[in-house]
Structure 1
Amino acid sequence: MADAAIARRGRSAAGHGAFGDLAFQTLTFVFAIIVLVVLAGVIASLVSGALPALGQFGLGFIVTEAWNPVTEKFGALAPIYGTLVTSAIAMLIAIPVAFGIALFITELCPNWLKRPLSTMIELLAAIPSIIYGIWGLFVLAPFVQEHIQPALIDTLGAIPGIGILFAGPPLGIGILTAGFILSVMVLPFISAVMRDVFETVPAVLRESTYALGATTSEVVWRVVLPYARVGVVGGILLGLGRALGETMAVTFVIGNSHHIHASLLQPGTTISAALANEFTEAVGDL
């Protein structure tokens, strides 16, 4: 009798457990579907809102540079170009620095310094973008104008091929300065993700490699990076998304010119900066 009662209780517990697992699985599936539905709704809304412009200007809107509100001739090529170039500059600067920060914190940093250093880096992400913009306009742009841009013009401006990237007068504001600002803004995101994924590498892998006589650099390149490469790529993509969508800080320092210049020292614009500058003056159905 006792064995039968125990068996019944076991079957009852198993039944409740199976029901709980099914309910949990269904609930999480619904949450995942909600995310996909929201994403599909956003895409549908963007496409629906873009149809009038595409109907009037055609696909040439994407590859046209002209931007003249008086004659109602508009093109998105200059903002697209500015968005891609500033984001590329930001990532070229931020990725190596973020990698070095994450590597130092996880592999080389003394224990007493890890927490304060990590906190200070993460605080950079809490600074509002408009503060970055004001700092960039009144501090970074004058510094770039007086020191960085003249040095680039003197050293790289005369080199055939790449000299065109550093041609023109040192204005301070421009695409290069916007890239500098973005690199500072995405740095805490990329470094935080890299640090976290580096810390997920099992200690036994590190210790075994050190026991074989490997140096710190060999451990990093042969153990840490291969193990954490998916997370590293995820952190880079997170920073790239932040750079592509940044508005206020870029608007302050990029110059807001709807023209494409080969020189990185010249003003430009981005998609988000163009929206911020133009939406208050938008009239008509478009």
Structure 2
Amino acid sequence: MARAWSNEGRGPLYRLYINRLRRRLEREAVPRHVAMMIDGNRRWAKQLGYDSAAHGHRAGAAKMRDFLEWCDDVGVKVVSLYLLSTDNLRKRDSRELSDLIEIIAELAHELSHERDWRVQHVGRADLLPPDLARVLAEAETRTKGNTGLHVNLAVGYGGRSEIVDAVRSIIAQHDGEGGSLEELAASLTPEQIGEHLYTGGQPDPDLVIRTSGEQRLSDFLLWQSAHSEFYFVEALGPDLREVDFLRAIRDFTTRDRRYGS
């Protein structure tokens, strides 16, 4: 049975509550880097009675534009969006994958014209259809000089593959400099691996958010999230509200981060 749209979030009392939450956030306590795992798009489409998951993916993409604005407005500096994993490329049926690729390309193009945002593709471009790889590269080139919110689009992404690629890059660089494998083995550090990840040079995510109530990492930013805080939202991706986001940020600001201790 289709679920009716909620009117929550459209009234003046809701806006007053949103504004109060914003005012109470201390800018210096806001996470620098937020990673978002938007989940539940297909379930959302099914619950509303749509015959195609594309409706859910399109609604999820629209929500991600809202999410980026919310992050920008409270002072977040970097946002990573998990849009398409390497597993998705192998396991999704061809029709759904084709729709999803088209939606991601549209999103990347639109984000490259938003505010002063810088868009960066993180993932394996060689695994993607040429047209999608081209759109992502164009969005990255177009926004390279921007100084606003840094938006990572994880497309054709897998955390374990990223670590393998980083190690391969280190070995190739070391070999090019004439070093031996013994020397590399003795000198290799976590910091060195971090520099060669797709997100090299960026702060690791302080906060990882996942929608739809699922509580797993799904091969997303495995290395970078070693000391991240996690926040799970019950709402399906397209139903995420600004109040959900602000509560996640508020919860983050109250945590005592121990960084593994």
For the criterion TM > 0.5, the same-fold answer is no
- Which of the pair has more CA radius of gyration? 1
Q: Which range, TM-score by smaller chain?
A: under 0.3
The two structures have a TM-score, normalised by structure 1, of: 0.21
Structure with greater helix share of residues: 1
The two structures have a TM-score, normalised by structure 2, of: 0.22
Structure with greater strand share of residues: 2
